[in-house]
Amino acid sequence: MGTYPLLRVENVKKYFPIGRVLLGRSKQYVKAVDDVSFTLDVGGSLGIVGESGSGKTTLAKVILRLIEPTSGKVYLDGVDLYSLNNKELRKLRPKMQMIFQDPMASLNPRKKIIHIIGQVFKIHIGISDVEIRERVIDLLEKVGLTPPELFLDRYPHELSGGQRQRVCIARAIALNPKLLIADEPVSALDVSVRGQIVKLLLEIYEKYINEIAYIVISHDIALIKSLCKDTLVMYLGKVVEKGEVRRIIEEPLHPYSQLLISSIPLPDPEVARNRKRIPIGGEIPSLINPPKGCYFHPRCPYVMDKCREKTPPLINVDGRLVSCYLY
C-alpha cells in the first residue's frame, strides 16, 4: 500500500473581526491563521508547534471546519471540505476526529462512559445496544482501560485525568478516522501520567499507520518530536519553518525556531548550562497590529532592511521550508 496525500491544505486563512463595526464591516482583524498550506500523506505525522497566539489551535479547527475559514481550501481524501453543506459534512465527520486538551471539558459529566463512547456509534452507524456494548468494551481495552467492564458504568468525574484522556482517545478512534488531530493531548495531565498517554498514542498510531494520518498540536517541541516525523513551526499565524522535527531541533534555520529550541528547558544540568543561548529578547507582538514585513523582525538579531518591508516567502532550503531572507 503506497502513500498518497490524505490531507491538502491550501492557503487557509482565518481572520477574526474585532473592534467597532462600521457600515457592517469591521475595520480591524486578528489574523489568527494567515495563508497556511501543506499536504499530509497517509501514514504521515505532522506536528504544529507554536506559542500561545500563534494560531495553531485555530488552524486545526479550520482544517476540520469546526469554525468557518475566511478563505482557502482543504481537501480530505480528495473531497473539498469547504464546498460541503452541513449534511454532507456530518457524513464525513467520522473520518476526521480530534482529541482536545482538557479531557474533563470534552466529556459530558452527566453521561456514563458507555454512553459517551457509544453515542458515536448511535449517531453515525446505528447499531444495536448489544453491539455497541461490545464495541465499547473492545475500545476500552485498546486504550488500556482494563478490565473494561469496570469502566462502562462510571461517570467522567470518577476517573483520573489520564483515564479521562484515554476515554477521549477511545472515542476519537471509535469510527476508524482517517485524520486524527490531537490538540495538546498531555498538557492538562500530571507529569508522571504524561508518559503513559504518549506511549498509548504511539501504539495507536503504529497500529493504524497504513490507514491514517495524524496531526499533533503543542507548544512543546519535545512532545512533537516523540510523536511526529515532521512539524510546522508557527509564529503569529504564519508558518515560519517546516521540516523533519529531528532536523529542526538539531539545526533550526529560522531565527524564531532557533529561539524556540534554545528556550526549551532541558532536564539535564550539564547540557542545559553549557548550551549556546540566543540573545533574543522582546515579546510576541500583538496580532491586531502585527509588525510590517516579517512578523519576527522586531525580535530578530539578524534583521535586514528587507525584513521590515516585505514578508519573506517560504522557500526550500535543503529539503525544508523556511520563511526568512537569510536563506
Q: CB 144 → other proteins: shortest distance, Å? A: 10
Task: Give which of 62, 30, 54, 58 is closest to 254, Cα–Cα.
Answer: 54
**Residue window 47-86: x/- pattern of binding to other proteins, with contact defined by CB under 8 A:** ----xx----------------------------------
Phi then psi dihedrals of residue 157, to 5 deg: -70, -15
- Nearer to other proteins by Cβ, of 96 and 223: the residue is 223
CA distance 214 to 228: 8
Complex with other proteins: residue 148 or 162, whichever CB lies closer:
162
Q: Does 223 bind other proteins (CB under 8 A)?
A: yes
Instruction: Choose among 27, 28, 55: nearest CA to 9.
Output: 55
198 is a site residue for other proteins (CB under 8 A): yes
Mind spelling out the 3-state secondary structure of 258-308?
HHHHHHCCCCCHHHHHHCCCCCCCCCCCCCCCCCCCCCCCCCCCCCCHHHH
Looking at residues 12 to 51 of the shown chain, list those that interact with other proteins (rule: CB under 8 A). 51
Q: In angstroms, rounded to a whole number, what is the distance separating the alpha carbons of residues 166 and 183?
A: 14
Taking the least distance from each CB to other proteins, the nearer of 83 and 160 is 160
Q: What minimum distance in Å lies between the beta carbon of 27 and other proteins?
A: 22
Please name the residues in contact with 147: beta carbons below 8 A apart, sequence gap of 6 or more: none
| Binders in 173-192 for other proteins, by CB under 8 A | 190-192
| Cβ distance to other proteins smaller for residue 131 or 251 | 251
Binder to other proteins among 221, 234, 294, 324 (CB under 8 A)?
221
Q: Are strands 230-235 and 45-49 parallel, antiparallel or unpaired?
A: parallel
Q: How many residues of this chain interact with other proteins, rule: CB under 8 A?
A: 46
Task: Give me the residues that bind other proteins (CB under 8 A), please.
Answer: 51-52, 160-163, 190-199, 202, 219-223, 225-227, 249, 259-273, 277, 280-281, 283-284
